[in-house]
Amino acid sequence: MQIPQKPPQLSDLRREIDEAGRFSAVFGAYTEGIAGDKYSHWDKLRHLKPPGDLSHREWWFAIRSYRLNQQKPITLGDIGGKRFSYALADPIPEGLQQIDLGAGGRLQMPDPITNPETKDQYLVGSLIEEAITSSQLEGAATTRLVAKEMIRAGRKPADRSERMILNNFLTMQRIGKLKAEPLSADLVFDIHRQVTQGTLDDPSAAGRFRRADERIDVGDDYGTVFHEPPPAEQLERRVRAMCDFANGKTPGTFVHPMIRSIILHFWLAYDHPFVDGNGRTARALFYWSMLRHGYWLCEFISISEIIRKAPARYGRAFLYTETDDNDLTYFLLYHLHVIRRAIDQLYEYVKRKTEQLQALERELRGIAVLNHRQRALISHALRHPHHRYTIESHRCSSNVVYQTARADLLDLAKRGLLVKEKAGRRWLFTPAHDLNERLRTSS
């Protein structure tokens, strides 16, 4: 990924326009609403065709002047103290409304998500997906299949990558319980500590600010530095200001709660207050904020899965903001797209699962005595005939207590649908080799 070209200074452009006697032509483009502007950064706009007889530099002057009149400042400042700001540019208002209806309300919600008997399966699945992909964004190398098996089986992590993923899973589980608490530096430390436990070269760095002697830059493997975070001596003050913003104390004007959540994500990532784990902590704080503001469906989506498919776009959203006068609108537009795509993906996933469940229910005619958890397990077993289930894996997948999970599996073994065997102190349950035939003949 390359660092985008910084836009030319407005003062330089104004002087050029005045000297060329072009102010009227440029002002005309400004008053016409900046034809063709889709909130492109200068790095992209300089390759597009300007409207009318404007040059690229004149076009940019008109666009940037128009945007400045729409900007709403927040309390986050860069290293030099210049404030960040954002504009409610199209299509941000439309995106906010769509997500408000889709993630905060219950209109047109998929039944499996609102049904108390099935929603826990989707919740656990989404938490696992977010844990895996968020960790992969930070370098975890474990495959999705192995990671899912580790979490569902309840086994200990085998390496650092698996530890990162398990930490993320446990953190995401806990975020839902922390949503009622106001954000504080101690809570940020607590989240960071859980995210990084057992994964840092220096274990003492978990849950504390980076020190002045721990220089942190955001860059690539080729020595390119994309971002230099604020110095360590500023971090206590900056995180305190971040918490005030997250808790709605600042600024004095209304900030849409979703915009507040997205900016919180940017804020912690920009400050990079820790030696490692900043990205995972930033995304966890986004989820905390969204759930705190009532966007309950966000517990069922994975933004990291969408980000991981095109990580360069994620990085550019940060760089566009930093290189264009601290304009957060770029990051807002990107993040709203990610949220909407994650919600769409959830609906697509639920639709596929619903179709599978309907097919399963046709196959399971005659054994209606099985509960919804047992039917889900048998559905999985039909597609994974060599999979091994434990009481702990079933407990975790179904989000039930140990006794309930044990009763489910023992009942399936009694019916001959699973085979029970002892391995050390644990019981293992595997699908019967003729499971399809047994399902057809069971009553």
Element (H, E) at 137: helix 119-137
Question: For 230-243, how does the pLDDT look when each residue is reduced to its tens digit (9 = 90+)?
Answer: 999 999 999 999 99
Strands 225-227 and 72-77: unpaired
Q: Which amino acid is at 382?
A: L
pLDDT attached to residue 383: 77
- Which domain, by its residues, includes 42? 10-69
Distances (CA, A) of 22 to 174, 183, 253: 59, 51, 37
Locate all alpha helices (DSSP H) within 293-441, ordered by sequence: 303-309, 311-323, 329-363, 372-383, 391-398, 402-414, 435-441
Whether 180 and 276 share a structural domain: yes
**For 420, how many CA atoms within 13 A lie in the half-sphere containing its CB?**
15
Could you tell me the two tokens for 347? 């609906």
Q: Which residue has the tokens 């959540």?
A: 261
For residue 4, tell me if it sits in a domain.
no
**Digit-coded pLDDT (tens) for 48-97:** 888 888 999 999 999 999 899 999 999 999 999 999 999 999 899 999 99
Any domain includes 331: yes
Phi-psi region of 416 (alpha: psi -120 to 50; beta: other; left: phi over 0): left
| Residue at which a domain ends, from 317, 347, 377 | 347
Asked if residue 198 has pLDDT above 80, the reply is yes
Q: What is the pLDDT of residues 320-353, one digit of tens each?
A: 999 999 999 999 999 999 999 999 998 888 888 7
Q: Which two tokens stand for residue 414?
A: 């009694």
Task: Name the domain boundary from 314, 347, 380.
Answer: 347
Dist CA 379 CA 357 (whole Å):
8
**Residue range 9-23: mean pLDDT, rounded:** 94
pTM of the model: 0.85
Q: What number is the average pLDDT over the span 397-405? A: 94
Statement to judge: residues 212 and 229 lie in one domain: yes
State whether 166 and 215 are in the same domain: yes
Residue 400 vs residues 115, 127, 297, 385, 392: alpha-carbon distances, Å: 15, 16, 21, 24, 10
Residue 392, domain member (yes or no): yes
231 inside domain? yes
137-182: pLDDT as tens digits: 988 888 888 898 898 888 999 999 999 999 999 999 999 899 999 9
172 and 91 together in one domain: yes
Asked if 61 and 82 sit in the same domain, the reply is: no
Q: In terms of domains, do 18 and 114 share one?
A: no
Examine residue 360 and state whether it is found in any structural domain, yes or no. no
Answer yes or no: is 357 within a domain. no
- Whether the predicted pLDDT of 183 surpasses 50: yes
By CB atoms closer than 10 A (0-12, 13-18, 19+), residue 6 is middle
Which amino acid is residue 188, in one-letter code?
Answer: V
> Domain of 82: which CATH number?
1.10.3290.10
Residues 169 and 283 in one domain: yes
Q: Is the pLDDT of residue 36 over 60?
A: no
Judgement on whether residues 104 and 241 belong to the same structural domain of the protein:
yes
Residue 2 belongs to a domain = no
* Predicted confidence (pLDDT) per residue in 239-286, tens digit: 999 999 999 999 999 999 999 999 999 999 999 999 999 999 999 999
* Model pLDDT, residue 106: 46
Number of folded domains in the chain? Answer: 3
- CATH number of the structural domain spanning residue 381: 1.10.10.10
- Would you say residue 221 has pLDDT above 80? no
| Range of lowest pLDDT (122-136, 393-407, 428-442) | 428-442
Q: Give a yes or no: residue 370 inside a domain.
A: yes
Q: Based on the domain organization, do 59 and 123 belong to the same domain?
A: no
Q: Which residues of 90-99 are buried (b: 16+ CB within 10 A; e: fewer)?
A: eebeebbeeb
Say yes or no: 151 and 195 in one domain. yes
Q: What is the mean pLDDT of the chain?
A: 89
Specify whether 422 is located in the same domain as 322: no
Are 223 and 142 part of one and the same domain?
yes
pLDDT digits (tens, 9 = 90+) for 85-98: 999 998 999 999 98
pLDDT at 31: 60
